[in-house]
Amino acid sequence: MQKLILTQGLGQRLSPQQIQFIKLLQVPTAELDSRIEEELEINPALEEGKEEDDSADEYEEDTSNDEIDINDYLQDDDYAGYKMQSDNGGQEEEREMPIAVSTSLNDQLMTQLGFLGLDSRREKIGKQLIGSIESDGYIRRELDAIVNDLAFSQNVETDEEEVEEVLMLIQDFDPAGIAARNLQECLLLQLERRIEQSEANKLAAQIIDVCFEEFSKKHYEKIIKKLNIEDEDLFKEAVNAITKLNPKPGGSGSGLVKTQYLMPDFILNNQHGELVLSLNSRNAPDLRVSSSYSEMMKAYDKSDKKDKKLKETVGFVKQKLDAAKWFIDAIKQRQLTLLNTMQAILEYQYEFFKDGDESKLRPMILKDIAEKIDMDISTVSRVANSKSVQTEFGIYPLKYFFSEGIATDSGEDVSSREVKNTLKSFIDKEDKSKPLSDDKLEKLLKEKGYQIARRTVAKYREQLNIPVARLRKEL
């Protein structure tokens, strides 16, 4: 038997102003102008310019049926803006940067296909193959699957042998190595175009063709023995030729080049030994509430409030005035939050900002700054993930200054970035014929006083995009 039970519960819902603030906090400085322009276009009660008086606050709040529904200010996805940026929240406020359009890889290949003068049947096969090329330039779809694709989508009956014949024609296109089915084939396609240029290129092609697995693992001694190579200099030259090949001939493959604009949100100057922090002026625009809209509210107070049409007009005016005030307040709150957060980071990492010495970076996590400015960790995260500061040593994203701590023999904590820099210096100075293993690197770091486990060494090495010792080996 079903029953209806009425229960009471407390819940928290973000106000429109809070939502406005959360969204604006995530907007980078380079995009703030566009965001403000958008608000100016949709809200006639908002104007550019300095506030002249507080007339916007003089109208009375009408608590009658004219009251504006809060849903008028909310969109279905407003709460996405409350998610952390790292969780891909708040994407509705993000905009694409300007892009410069060039001919796509697909267009270039289609043009080259047209030069072959194939019959319509083989041209369809060629187009299907080109359409199967992924962004990095490879075809990973099996040929039998492409045969089926042609039968169902193009009504072309063919077999793997014919498809491979057309594929070989496409593999002669530029860029070299395009339409390869794996890395070995990609490197061979590039070397075949150079094979007549030198003996080293011939040997390089032989190495990739016969000893690809050994080469990928840098087992050079096995290669020399297997191919009976006597000229060590020629072998080194061949290996060098291979390492200069392009493993991703398609590049991004999109044909679109994004133009990124790096605009710092903060400016930090050293004035005679004193660090002075300022907010980029683009973050502090002059906005005000329209005086004409405020006058409308004053006129309403003196009018017959029973007029239905007038009530509808006033409802619209009130909504726009509220939205304008909320937007201005959100911009001001954004400025204050940005400055407070950056000031806390400056104080925490003061020694680094004085001379730019990375070894002076202290371990610092989001919680440290959140507690210092008495704000939520998610708020600090939004600032750190999307903002940067200009210093005498360059422009740094704020997230650069956050890192975990590693214990030392002296009992102090040091930044993980300092440990990574030390680890990288060890690897940079190692004998490349006998590269250091993770175990050896762990011992060297412990000799420096860093209490660190081997698995942590491996994690930091991977974060630095440094391969394992076997793959760092050179002749």
Domain 405-472 in CATH 3.40.50.970? The answer is no
**Segment among 95-104, 122-131, 261-270 with least mean pLDDT:** 95-104
* pTM of this structure: 0.48
- Mean pLDDT, residues 180-206: 88
Q: Does the pLDDT of residue 195 top 80, yes or no?
A: no
Q: Does the pLDDT of residue 255 top 50, yes or no?
A: no
153 vs 96, more confident: 153
In angstroms, the Cα distances linking 410 to 406, 440, 448, 451 are 11, 22, 11, 10
Of the candidates 340, 403, 416, the one whose C-alpha atom is nearest the C-alpha of residue 373 is 340
**Cα 335 from Cα 187, distance rounded (Å):** 53
| pLDDT computed for residue 341 by the predictor | 92
Helix (H) or strand (E) holding 83: none
Q: Does the pLDDT of residue 4 top 80, yes or no?
A: no
**Residue 439, CA atoms < 13 Å, CB-side half-sphere:** 0
Q: What share of the chain is helix, strand, coil (3-state, %, to 5)?
A: 55, 10, 35
% of the chain exceeding 90 in pLDDT: 11
% of the chain exceeding 70 in pLDDT: 79
**Segment among 140-144, 249-253, 423-427 with least mean pLDDT:** 249-253
- Mean pLDDT, residues 224-240: 88
Of the candidates 35, 26, 18, the one whose C-alpha atom is nearest the C-alpha of residue 285 is 35
Q: Residue ranges of the domains in the chain?
A: 20-92+287-320, 98-259, 405-472
Residues 324-345 as b/e (b if ≥16 CB within 10 A, e otherwise) read bbbbbebbebbeebbbbbbebb
The distance in angstroms from the start CA to the end CA of the chain is 81
Q: Distance from CA of residue 247 to its chain's centroid?
A: 23
CA dihedral for 86, 88, 90, 95, sign (positive or negative) = positive
Helix (H) or strand (E) holding 389: strand 388-391
